[in-house]
Amino acid sequence: MDYFQAIAFLVLLLLAWGFAAQIQQPNLVFILADDFGWNDVSFHGSKQIPTPNLDALAFSGLILQNYYVTPLCTPSRSALMTGKHPIHTGMQHDVLYGYSRYGLPLSETTLPDHLKLLGYKNHIVGKWHLGHYKSVYTPLHRGFDSHYGYWTGHQDYYDHTAVEWNAWGYDMRRNNSVDWSAYGKYTTTILTDEARDVITKHDVSSPLFLYIAHLAVHSANPYSPLQAPEETVKMFSNIEDLQRRRYAAMVHELDVSVGKIVKALGDKNMLQNTVIVFSSDNGGPAAGFNQNAASNWPLKGVKNTPWEGGVRAAGVVWSPLIPEDRRGRVMSNLMDISDWLPTLFEAAGGDVASLKGLDGVSHWSTILYDKPSARHHVLHNIDDKLGYAAIRKKKWKLVKGTTYGGSWDGWYGPSGRMNDSCIHSFNSIDDAGPIEKKNDAGRYISRLGISVIDNLNQLLKDAKIKCGERPVDAHACLPLDAPCLFDIDQDPCEYNNLAEKLPDIANDLLDLLNWYNATAVAPLNTQPDPMSNPKYWNYTFTNWADFE
């Protein structure tokens, strides 16, 4: 390159830099609920537990109708952070416990690692659950600039202790230091206040990535599994079942949190250039599973099962960047939780072609312009230790094996529809007033000139899953005996097993499962390490292996 070519190249580089500087990168806010049921948002049609703040995002954004996660929290979180399926990172089996001597492999580049290269400031508030036996596995070493929250999988909502196996200890931290001042304060409130503080203090000269991983609505410890402020529980006195009533209060507190986060973004003048994602990490634990009271109605199964109720998640993406004619719609293309890494990376201005070795695909052009999606199938999971696998290709789903010997392979309510006896008097989805004027999200979205009630009736219709009555003559599915095949478009509740009727399609999906299984790495799970017990570390969960 001669002198004049070098000067020309430098001029072009400066022009490109100046153009890029004029394009403001969006703030990215990812809100992950824990163990949230498909039927526990009112935008899916249930009126038992109103979620007006989530509804406001859904009605002015995009409802993700065929959005999938894995059946458990650690595998889903690993997929979110890496853009890879858990079978390719060793995170596919069970969850990571406080005693585990492993974590998300250090060889993996995380979503915040990628975003940091694009100039983002990255903060996590809430649950990590991807390893802590050594500090190098914790958030500050995985791309985040700060972390307020906990390292393990659950905790008491007030004293912030976790009971795991024969161990008990405190788990609430600011970065790497234990935060004893949180004791006695409600977890959802603490995490919400912390998220608002991150937003308020953010230097807007850099774009923000804020990952809020709530405890809600996961069960707490077995001696008091469902917890919420008593004044909130009393709001749902019409719900006869006490556990469901407490669960409803937990959902309400989560929904209020969403509204407060939207408000904080609005007060900081950041909302107009923000992408907000709401997702669950897996299906809801219904009917007493994990001592919880979620509802996936009308879907089959619960958390940690391969059925739609275990892997189909409530999901919303919202942003003023979505063109006006695209807002307030149902996005029906297949999407997997591993897709968020490339999707948000592209939204942030990154070149998706530079991301290598991912299972996830970007949906940013689909979100903005309804362009065809690159995803045609979703691997729900392969867990050879538990002996099950499930995959969906276009409209067809194959289930091979199951969990718990099939004891949780049923359909669980409540439905929360008008024929139920326990309908809340506050109808958040049929009355425009509460949506636009009585909740923070609706009020602040409306200030941007974005309506949350356009085409409302059609949107509610499109967002509902309709299965009808279970056919008496349906072909039985016994997945422990033989794989089952379902047409999910026509049979989302997995009533009618078509494997015998359509063996060629079933075999095609079996071949696809076998191909994936040949690429899987061994699960990383370890036996309990006695030295992990919090009793050796001032009754706190800690990075014990660093002190050996």
User: Residue 115 CA to chain centroid, in angstroms?
Assistant: 19
The more confidently predicted of residues 17 and 275 is 275
Tokens of 142: 């995985």
Flag whether pLDDT at 524 surpasses 90: yes
Mean pLDDT of 224-228: 98
> What is the domain count for the chain?
1
More confident residue, 26 or 418: 26
Q: What is the pLDDT of residues 154-167, one digit of tens each?
A: 999 999 999 998 89
Residue 476 CA to residue 384 CA, distance in Å, equals 24
DSSP run (H or E) holding 19: helix 3-22
pLDDT at 2: 56
Question: How many other C-beta atoms are found inside a 10 Å radius of the C-beta of residue 496?
Answer: 19
* Per-residue pLDDT at 17: 42
Q: What is the mean pLDDT of residues 459-485?
A: 89
Confirm whether 482 is domain-assigned. no
Torsions phi, psi for 213 (to 5 deg):
-105, 95
| Residue 304 amino acid letter | N
Q: How far apart are CA 355 and CA 118, in angstroms?
A: 13
The tens digit of pLDDT for each residue in 528-544 reads 999 999 999 999 999 99
**pLDDT the model gives residue 492:** 97
Would you say residue 265 has pLDDT above 60? Answer: yes
Q: What is the pLDDT of residue 457?
A: 86
Q: Which of 102-111, 322-331, 416-425 is least confident?
A: 416-425
In this prediction, residues 423-444 reach a mean pLDDT of 59
30-86 residue pLDDT tens: 999 999 999 999 999 999 999 999 999 999 999 999 999 999 999 999 999 999 999
pLDDT at 7: 53
pLDDT band at 9 (very low <50, low <70, confident <90, very high): very low
Is 195 part of any domain? yes
Per-residue DSSP letters for 229-246?
A: -HHHHHTTTT--SHHHHH
Query: Domain range spanning residue 295?
Result: 31-376+524-536
pLDDT range class, residue 429, cuts 50, 70, 90 = very low
What DSSP string describes 143-210?
A: T-SEEEEESSS---TTT-EEEETTEEEE--EETTEE-GGGTTS-HHHHHHHHHHHHHHH--TTS-EEE
Confidence of residue 468 (pLDDT cuts 50, 70, 90): confident
The residue to which tokens 């070149």 are assigned: 351
Confidence at residue 165, expressed as pLDDT on a 0 to 100 scale: 87
Quick one: what percent of the chain has pLDDT higher than 70? 92
Give the mean model confidence (pLDDT) for residues 238-247: 97
Q: Give CA–CA dist 537/389, Å, rounded.
A: 39
pLDDT at 422 over 90: no
Give residue-wise pLDDT tens across range 307-329.
Answer: 999 999 999 999 999 999 999 99
Confidence bin at 172 (pLDDT 50/70/90): very high
Which pLDDT belongs to residue 18? 41
pLDDT at 351: 98
Alpha carbon distance 254, 231 (integer Å)? 15
DSSP 313-343: --EEEE-TTS-GGGSSEEE-S-EEGGGHHHH
Name the β-bridge partners of 163.
168
Q: Is 306 among the domain residues?
A: yes
Share of the chain above pLDDT 90, in %: 87
In this predicted structure, the answer to whether residue 305 has a pLDDT above a threshold of 60 is yes
Are the C-beta atoms of 62 and 317 separated by less than 8 Å? yes
Q: With respect to residue 488, please indicate whether it lies within any of the assigned structural domains.
A: no
CA atoms lying within 13 Å on the CB side of residue 336: 31
| pLDDT of 475 | 78
Residue 56 domain-assigned (yes or no): yes
DSSP strand pairing (173-174 vs 177-178): antiparallel
pTM equals: 0.94
- Residue-averaged pLDDT of the chain: 93
Count CB atoms within 10 A of the CB of residue 257: 24
Catalytic residues: 73, 129
Predicted pLDDT of residue 427: 42
Side-chain half-sphere of 126: how many Cα atoms within 13 Å?
26
pLDDT on residue 106: 98
- SS3 call for 415: coil
* Stretch among 9-23, 41-55, 136-150, 286-300 having the lowest mean pLDDT: 9-23
Is residue 201 pLDDT above 60, yes or no? yes
Q: What is the pLDDT of residue 194?
A: 98
Q: Give the span between the Cα atoms of 86 and 4, in whole angstroms.
A: 51
Neighbours of 547 (CB within 10 A): 10
Mean pLDDT is highest, among 19-23, 348-352, 370-374, for 348-352
Q: Looking at residue 58, which CATH number applies to its domain?
A: 3.40.720.10
pLDDT of residue 507: 98
| pLDDT, average across residues 113-131 | 98
Q: What is the pLDDT of residue 20?
A: 42
Has residue 485 been placed in a domain? no
What integer pLDDT is reported at residue 6 of this predicted model?
A: 46
464: amino acid identity, one letter: K
Considering all CA atoms of the chain, what is the largest pairwise distance in Å, rounded to the nearest integer? Answer: 82
The partner residues of 124 in beta bridges, in order of sequence, read 147, 211
* Distance in angstroms (rounded) separating the CA atoms of residues 228 and 220: 11
Could you tell me if residue 101 is inside a domain?
yes
**Range 15-21 average pLDDT:** 40
Other Cβ atoms closer than 10 A to 178: 17
With respect to residue 212, please indicate whether it lies within any of the assigned structural domains.
yes
